[in-house]
Amino acid sequence: MDMTYIADADRYGRMTYNRCGLSGLKLPVVSLGLWHNFGGVDVYENGRAMLRRAFDLGITHFDLANNYGPPPGSAEETFGKVMVQDLAPYRDELIISTKAGYGMWPGPYGEWGSRKYLIASLDQSLKRMGLDYVDIFYSHRPDPNTPLEETMGALDFAVRSGRALYVGISNYNPEQTRRAAQILRDLGTPCLIHQPSYSMFNRWVEDGLLDALEETGMGAICFSPLAQGLLTNRYLGDAIPEDSRAAKPHGFLRPAHVTDEKLAKVRKLKAIADGRGQTIAQLALVWVLRHPVVTSALIGASRVSQVEDCAGVVANLTLTDEELRAIEEIL
């Protein structure tokens, strides 16, 4: 793959873009996350091939965090390498995000929500990726011991100092979200986006968060929309595949999560997907995207074919009331 990468000329005809909340920014309905499979423990050329194919399919948004790997920091380093080798000429066509919040280095300034940690972490992230700025910088989790004003003030400073163009929050509950939005609005740097987990098997956002986002004018980009691969055909065989996320020692999906009860639901969902001419993954993405507040579904992938499968969702992004009712009965 040493030939010079030239992006596919038809890429923008292949993807659908949604406006993020009340902002001027559009995001692809499918975005690619680098939480797994882009770390130092992973095969570099596979990650590189997935990033290139994603961009060729019109996926313009790549989502990272300081601690993605493993080891922590290595996903950003991988991304930085691909930028240099392939994507640098397209920087102005990309939306690159990163985050700070979880444990990143030892001592009192290596995690949570202080201004000290957030700005130091962002500077490290920019260095690892070889970037002058990121498009979106997130507070990755709320910090119960730091005033929200300080954490949001650090996000505002990240924008004013040219390190980020927009800011977001992740894993904040509805009340925290409203407060964060108000503080940022008062500072003059509106909160663009919230990144919660959301899937057919994990519906906490329906209990007030989506309403809060509608009220505050934020968009949502939902992580784990495929329940880390459960909502695909990946686990419908007799055994857990050896190269799957559930089989990896360093992943977040444990074999215990792959229950017979869940797989029975997935098989029923497959029948609905088949009837639509879609894969289970595509149906799961359409379902998450059905809510007007949801701007983008954030996928993970371990191979190019999975990126292609997910990007193919754009062929049919609508669900009938009948289909929605049938899905609800299964869940």
From 51, 171, 201, 66, select the one nearest 125 (Cα to Cα): 66
pLDDT interval class at 260 (50, 70, 90):
confident
Q: Give the mean model confidence (pLDDT) for residues 242-249.
A: 66
How many whole angstroms separate alpha carbon 245 and alpha carbon 6?
Answer: 31
How confident is the model over 98-131, as pLDDT tens digits? 999 999 999 999 999 999 999 999 999 999 999 9
Q: Give the mean model confidence (pLDDT) for residues 319-323.
A: 97
Cβ pair 65, 140 in contact under 8 A: yes
Angle CA 100–102–107, to nearest 5:
100
Question: DSSP strand E in 249-320: where?
Answer: 294-299
Q: Give the mean model confidence (pLDDT) for residues 42-47.
A: 97
Q: Which fold has domain 11-330?
A: TIM Barrel (3.20.20)
- pLDDT at residue 59 greater than cutoff 90: yes
**ω before 71 within 30° of 0 (cis)?**
yes
pLDDT interval class at 252 (50, 70, 90):
low
What mean pLDDT value characterizes the chain?
A: 95
Residues with Cβ within 8 Å of 248's Cβ and at least 6 positions away in sequence, in order, are: 36
- Give pTM, 2 decimals: 0.94
Three-class secondary structure of residue 254 per DSSP:
coil
- Sketch the domain layout of the chain as residue ranges: 11-330
- pLDDT at residue 1 greater than cutoff 60: no
Q: Give the mean model confidence (pLDDT) for residues 143-167.
A: 98
Which string of DSSP letters, residue by residue, matches 7-30? --TTGGGS--EEE-TTSS-EEESE
pLDDT interval class at 266 (50, 70, 90):
very high
